[in-house]
Amino acid sequence: MVADIIVFGAIWTAIYSMIALGFSLIFGVAKIMNLSHGAFFMFACYAAYYLSSSGLGLFWVALGAIVITIILAIVSYLGIIKPMRNSLTQVLILTFAFAMFLEQIIVITFGPEPRYVPSMLEGGMSILGVRVTHQQVLAFVITIVLILFLWWLLSRTNMGRIIRAVSQDREMASMLGINAEKIFIFVMGLSAAFAAVAGLLVAPFLTVTPAMGWSPILAAFTIVVLGGLGNVWGTLIGAFIVAYAEMITSYAFNPQLKEAVTFTIMILALMYRPNGLFSKGVSDA
Amino acid sequence: MLTITNLSAGYGKAVVINQLNLEVKEGEMMSIIGPNGAGKTTLLRCINGLVPANSGDITFEGKSIKKLPTHKIARLGITHCPEGRRPFPEMSVYENLKMGGLQLNNDQFNERLEYVYSLFPILKERKSQYAGTMSGGQQQMVAIGRALMTSPKLLILDEPSIGLAPIVVDEIFEQIKIIKESGVTILLVEQNVDVALKVTDKIAVMDNGQISFIGNPAELVKDASLREIYLGIG
Ligand SMILES: Nc1ncnc2c1ncn2[C@@H]1O[C@H](COP(=O)(O)OP(=O)(O)O)[C@@H](O)[C@H]1O
Ligand SMILES: [Mg+2]
């Protein structure tokens, strides 16, 4: 049981990090609290389901699902979020409504019953004596690679520096000729791409349902409350805490309780550490 | 180069800039002085498109910039080094300078960087330090250096001396003088009148959202009432 907790805790730390980083990044840069982030994750799973059932190869399924999700995110940003961006409350309500809307569209199109997405890799292996599928290992490896990519982007490239500059002082950045609006669109797309990749990787070992986005958004929300919104390292630590708390609950007590535990962590964090364990602002350190 | 005509602006119903006229000629250094709350910062923010103009016009090199977004105004060659300095605190000195030089190619960037380092050698020494952890004077150097990285045609400085020790103020104004002599047009807002008078070509007094006096430093000193208010000599 301890080995199960260690292995699956690590896998879910990576996956939750991916989802929460996207959520945290767009907040850190544009101060957008995007409650439809989980719906993007769900949407990517359905896009993968639809594309793979129409017989496309793995590469095209992945690329197609990611691109469609990015387009959806940018359209929703330009159409509904941008006009309301100055009000945090309106953005919260609108993105919540948009998530419900997407869920309904999916129910109407694909029906409420669960769908299954084929694995990218077949078979499995044993780690610390725990049986894991190759798909789970793949999810872990790719998320680690993408988190490193994000770190490299933010700390080592001009685009990353511009993103951090906009996050630290948007007005000052614009006085240097930076078009913050373009950066918001880029980060919105990047954030959605992270949700989409997470969706693609985990869809084969989850059941794909129209409501599947709510559980990850709850986890992401708790993670960023713990880690501080917009803080990359804080997000990783938050993901570690939430993933292991859920795995300990699932294996030592009852899998049904795992979301209750996440809620409890969120409430405790909001009560005792409302600004997270660290500071805010997108930073590379 | 910069012409402001009958400009009015404010916040909601509060009128802060009231039918203001001002011209800054190419190669010239203009300093605006005036009491706290006169609207000096608001005027500068208006030039940058950060505060919308209610009426009147602002033209730069003959073209109206009144309706342009801030980043486009910046790309025309107007760089604002704002009140409070505002370095990107969680970025290194070098990265801050990099944010000023985004429109330059590699060679231009390196050349410009050497120029900024020659004006403020401390920035080279501290290039890896986070700007937020530096002293006020050093942060001001980061802010001016970052603004210079854009190769501005018009450099706008809002109270660069504020909160700094006199010796640091002198040091920074020596560099401002060198920048001016290199041909950059400068619009300075400064409460430290003595130090501004030493470098500026022209001086304007702003009061209640209008320019109440404009002339060269000698003319200001000659005017008995202004001399008393701004220089404290009866
Ligand atoms: N963001 C703002 N919202 C409302 N009023 C403001 C704002 N900024 C400045 N003011 C008001 O505008 C007037 C001029 O301020 P400011 O331009 O900062 O003057 P100065 O730079 O000459 O000290 C002051 O009365 C100030 O209270
Ligand atoms: Mg001011």
Q: Which CATH number is A20's domain given?
A: 1.10.3470
Interface of B with A (CB under 8 A): 48, 50, 69-71, 74-75, 79-80, 82, 86, 88-91, 95, 98-100, 102-103, 146-147, 150
Residue A256 has pLDDT above 70, yes or no: yes
What average pLDDT is seen over chain A? Answer: 91
Q: Are B49 and B108 in a shared domain? A: no
Q: Where are the beta strands (DSSP E) in chain B?
A: 2-11, 14-24, 29-33, 53-60, 63-64, 78-81, 154-158, 185-189, 202-207, 210-215
- Strand-strand pairing, B185-189 and B29-33: parallel
Q: Does residue B87 sit in helix, strand or coil?
A: coil
A2 found inside a domain: no
Q: Are B73 and B156 in a shared domain? A: yes
As a whole number of angstroms, the distance between CA A263 and CA A261 comes to 5
- Ligand 1 pocket test, pick from B33, B41, B210 with the greatest ligand atom count within 8 Å of Cβ, gives B41
Q: Are B58 and B116 in a shared domain? A: no
Count chain A–chain B contacts defined by CB atoms under 8 A.
63
Average pLDDT over residues A8-22: 93
A240 found inside a domain: yes
Q: Does the CB of A172 have a partner CB in chain B at under 8 Å? A: yes
pLDDT one-digit tens code per residue, A108-147: 999 999 998 888 888 888 999 889 999 999 999 999 999 9
Contact B90 A281 (CB under 8 A): yes
**CB of A195 closer than 8 Å to CB of A22:** yes
Range of the domain at B117: 86-151
> Which amino acid, one-letter code, is at B155?
L
Structure tokens, B84: 């409070």
A4 found inside a domain: no
**CB of A29 closer than 8 Å to CB of A157:** no
Which ipTM value was assigned to this complex? 0.92
A280 found inside a domain: yes
Choose among B50, B103, B146: nearest Cβ to A171.
Answer: B50
Average pLDDT over residues A253-275: 86
pLDDT of residue A279: 47
pLDDT one-digit tens code per residue, A145-187: 999 999 999 999 999 999 999 999 999 999 999 999 999 999 9
Q: Are B47 and B162 in a shared domain? A: yes
pLDDT one-digit tens code per residue, A221-254: 899 888 877 678 889 999 999 999 999 999 989 8
Domain count, chain A: 1
Residues whose beta carbon lies within 6 Å of some atom of ligand 1 = B 11, 14, 16, 34, 36-42
Range of the domain at A163: 9-284
Dihedral pair phi/psi, residue A232, rounded to 5°: -65, -50
Dihedral pair phi/psi, residue B154, rounded to 5°: -125, 120
SS3 sequence of A173-204? HHHCCCCHHHHHHHHHHHHHHHHHHHHHHHHH
Encode chain B (234 residues) as per-residue pLDDT tens digits. 999 999 999 998 899 999 999 999 999 999 999 988 999 999 999 999 999 999 999 999 999 999 999 999 999 999 999 999 999 999 999 999 999 999 999 999 999 999 999 999 999 999 999 999 999 999 999 999 999 999 999 999 999 999 999 999 999 999 999 999 999 999 999 988 889 999 999 999 998 899 988 988 888 877 777 777 776 654
Last residue of some domain: B151, B168, B200? B151
Q: Are B130 and B216 in a shared domain? A: no
As a whole number of angstroms, the distance between CA B159 and CA B81 comes to 9
Contact A175 B80 (CB under 8 A): yes
List, in order, residues 6 or more apart from B12 with CB less than 8 Å away.
Answer: none
Domain count, chain B: 2
Q: Give first-to-last CA distance, chain B, whole Å.
A: 36
As a whole number of angstroms, the distance between CA B152 and CA A272 comes to 48
As a whole number of angstroms, the distance between CA A239 and CA A224 comes to 8
**CB of A241 closer than 8 Å to CB of A226:** yes
Which chain B residue is nearest to residue A167, measuring alpha carbons? B88
